[in-house]
Amino acid sequence: MEITRPTSLADALEARAADPGADLLAGGTDLMVEVNFGYARPEHVIALRRVDEITEVTDRRVGAGVTWARLEHSDHRALAQLARTVGSPQIRAAGTIGGNIGTASPAGDGLPWLAAIDAEIEVASKERGTRRLPWSDFFTGVKRNALAPDEVIVAAVLPENVPVNQEFAKIGQRSAMVISTVSACVVRDDDGAVRVALGSVAPTPVRARQAEALIAENPEPSEAALAEFARTVSAEVSPITDHRSTESYRRHAAGVLARRLLERCLAR
């Protein structure tokens, strides 16, 4: 296996342009599992660990190369919450948000947060420079995204004024080291508007926009309105039955989880 170790983004883009068939490697916690199970046989790997430009965190950006271990200390409450749930300390020390975005698994725990805050994904290539895609255009299906073969994910770009009132939680088959059966992130603006994003209940992360609209009409919901909110979330998702759970459990859990997170946001 050939391994290229660029030390700048320009060199990484150069390597990617020269061999668009090469596999990008960040922490390797997804890619090496594929290799170990024999699902991937990379002939050429471009290792991104030495590319400093993608490890920066600012008010408006989270670099693709930032590890979950760093994000456990994020000022964004839900991002820190979700980072703490990813795998084990060893996985969080190596795994990155960019790898989560690159894998684009429906169960990727970073994705509901990106959807809830309306992040954009910044990608770059040697030939075409930088482009930014809304999260909803970037994630195109189960483990599919809009990244072109010569591109590298550079960062998640955050909107101005990300609400400080935000909550993430996930449900799995046990309480630690677990892939999400359902995950959810709720953010609440100062004006009371909420955004509700869910994971593991559709091919891509999804927003429950009808449930959001209910709260926009009724920012201080009664018990009955909260029950209607949960029912609406359950109706909006499109989960499947697989080895981790059933369609009906996921649908029910999505509503329960979103309501629980909304109530936490409302209590603040």
Site for ligand FAD in 137-156 (CB under 6 A): 147, 152-153
Q: Rounded to the nearest whole angstrom, what is the least distance from the CB of residue 96 to ligand FAD in the complex?
A: 3
Which string of x and - marks every residue 39-68 that binds ligand FAD (by CB under 6 A)? ---------x-----x---------x----
What gap in Å lies between CA 123 and CA 119, rounded to an integer? 13
Q: Between residues 30 and 212, which has the closer beta carbon with respect to ligand FAD?
A: 30
Minimal CB distance residue for ligand FAD: 99
Structure tokens at 220: 């201080």
The beta-strand segments (E) located in the chain are: 2-4, 23-25, 44-47, 61-63, 120-125, 129-134, 139-141, 144-145, 152-157, 165-171, 182-188, 194-199, 206-207
80 binding ligand FAD? (CB under 6 A): no
Site for ligand FAD in 96-115 (CB under 6 A): 96, 98-100, 102-103, 108-109
DSSP 8-state symbol, 45: E
Is the sign of the CA dihedral 171, 174, 175, 178 positive or negative? Answer: negative
Site for ligand FAD in 4-23 (CB under 6 A): 23
Total binding residues for ligand FAD by CB under 6 A?
31
| Residues making up the chain, counted from first to last | 268
Among 17, 35, 80, 91, binds ligand FAD (CB under 6 A): 91
The beta-strand segments (E) located in 21-146 are: 23-25, 44-47, 61-63, 120-125, 129-134, 139-141, 144-145
Q: Rounded to the nearest whole angstrom, what is the least distance from the CB of residue 211 to ligand FAD in the complex?
A: 23
Q: Between residues 20 and 159, which has the closer beta carbon with respect to ligand FAD?
A: 20
Q: Between residues 76 and 188, which has the closer beta carbon with respect to ligand FAD?
A: 76
The SS3 assignment for 37 reads coil
Per CB under 6 A, residues contacting ligand FAD are 23-31, 33, 48, 54, 64, 85-87, 91, 94-96, 98-100, 102-103, 108-109, 147, 152-153, 179
